Structure 1
Amino acid sequence: MRDAASLKYAHALYEVALKENKLEEYLEDLKGILEVFEASDDLLEFLKHPEISQINKTSVISNVFRGRVSEEIIKLLNLLIKHDRIEDFRHVYKDYRKLALEHKGIKIALVKTAVELTDEERNLLKNKLSKKYNCEIELDEVIDQDIIGGVWVRVKDDVLDGTVKTKLDTMKKMLLN
């Protein structure tokens, strides 16, 4: 489960990245590592396993990622391993990404739909949100079949709910009153 620790790790890396002018480089490194973890469940399970020594885990990290990602990112991975938090890596990535994008004036929109958006729908939604919020928008898409249809969007604290589920719930309440 996610807690405040992932944000602390992300914020610490963000501060280092700002000082070293490597905001984009670190973001790309983190994204690449996340892709490796998603492609290899075995690697992440190995790194999470309680009976495998920290030395063996950091050795694997070094063998897999050294020369491919920056040294600061290797240090972050080793720190997560040391504190038994490697399973939080996905959250650290998301928190860092949010900080890096906000630094560049880009807002993240969490978008829930019942089915995957087409490229045309995705571009249309990004354009409309960009105009509404007067900035560039990045979409984080989630498929949620419970919403039945339509689109649910959250940008910061602003929620736009155009889902069929919400409309049906509203109609149900009106009919029951």
Structure 2
Amino acid sequence: MRDVASLKYGYALYEVALKEDKLDEYLEDLKGILDVFKASPELLEFLRHPEITLQNKLAVLSNVFRGRIQDEILRLLDLLVRNDRIDDFRYIYKDYRKFALEHKGIKIALVKTAVPLNDEERNLIKVKFSKIYDSDIEIDEIIDEEIIGGIWVRVKDDVYDGTIKSKLDTMKKTLLSNSEVEIG
């Protein structure tokens, strides 16, 4: 479960990257590590396993990543493994990415749809929200079949809900409130 520690790790890494002028390099390394964990769930399971010694876990981390990622990020992985927090890595990546993109003036749009977006739809969303926010937009996509159709977008604290589920819920509330008035 996500907690405040991942936010602190992400922010601390962001501050180090700023100081070293390596914002993009850190972001690329973090994304690469996330990709490795997604492609090799066995590695993540190995790093989580309570019966594998810390020395073995750190040796594997070193063998897999040393020389391929920034030393600070390798130290972060080391720290996460030592404190049994490797599952926080994905949250740290997300938090770091948010800080890095905001620093560059780029906003993140969380987009939920019932089916995956195609490139044209992605570009339309980017163009529309870039105009609204006068900023470049990066899209994080989530597939949520419960919304039935349409699109739900959150940029910072603003939510744009054009989903069929939302429209059906509104219709249901309207119908129920109208029937209560007539009955009462």
Return the TM-score normalized by structure 1: 0.99
Could you tell me which residue of structure 1 aligns to residue 96 of structure 2? 96
SS of equivalent to 2:2: coil
Q: Deviations over 1:122-169 (max 9, x none)?
A: 000100000000000000000000000000000010000000000000
CA–CA separation in structure 2 for the residues paired with 1:65 and 1:77: 10
Could you tell me which residue of structure 1 aligns to residue 171 of structure 2? 171
Q: Structure 1 residue 95: deviation in Å?
A: 0.4
Could you tell me which residue of structure 2 aligns to residue 121 of structure 1? 121
CA–CA separation in structure 2 for the residues paired with 1:18 and 1:149: 41
CA–CA separation in structure 1 for the residues paired with 2:49 and 2:87: 10
Q: Which amino acid aligns with 1:36?
A: V
SS of equivalent to 2:50: coil
Could you tell me which residue of structure 1 aligns to residue 181 of structure 2? none
CA–CA separation in structure 2 for the residues paired with 1:113 and 1:167: 14
Q: Which amino acid aligns with 1:73?
A: I
SS of equivalent to 2:95: helix
Q: Which runs of 5+ in 2 are unaligned?
A: 178-184
CA–CA separation in structure 1 for the residues paired with 2:86 and 2:53: 14
SS of equivalent to 1:162: strand
Could you tell me which residue of structure 1 aligns to residue 110 of structure 2? 110
Q: Structure 1 residue 50: deviation in Å?
A: 1.1
- Residue 38, structure 1, aligned to residue 17, structure 2: no
CA–CA separation in structure 2 for the residues paired with 1:26 and 1:64: 17
Could you tell me which residue of structure 1 aligns to residue 182 of structure 2? none
Q: Deviations over 1:72-97 (max 9, x none)?
A: 11000000011110011100000000
CA–CA separation in structure 2 for the residues paired with 1:170 and 1:51: 52
SS of equivalent to 1:140: strand
Q: Deviations over 1:82-128 (max 9, x none)?
A: 11100111000000000000000000010000000110000001000
User: Pairwise CA RMSD of aligned residues?
Assistant: 0.5
Could you tell me which residue of structure 1 aligns to residue 2 of structure 2? 2
Percent identical pairs in the alignment equals 73
CA–CA separation in structure 2 for the residues paired with 1:54 and 1:15: 28
Could you tell me which residue of structure 2 aligns to residue 130 of structure 1? 130
CA–CA separation in structure 1 for the residues paired with 2:11 and 2:61: 22
CA–CA separation in structure 2 for the residues paired with 1:123 and 1:56: 45
Could you tell me which residue of structure 2 aligns to residue 79 of structure 1? 79
CA–CA separation in structure 2 for the residues paired with 1:15 and 1:53: 32
Return the TM-score normalized by structure 2: 0.95
CA–CA separation in structure 2 for the residues paired with 1:170 and 1:17: 46
Larger radius of gyration: 2
Q: Structure 1 residue 52: deviation in Å?
A: 1.1
Q: Structure 1 residue 55: deviation in Å?
A: 1.2
Aligned residues: 177
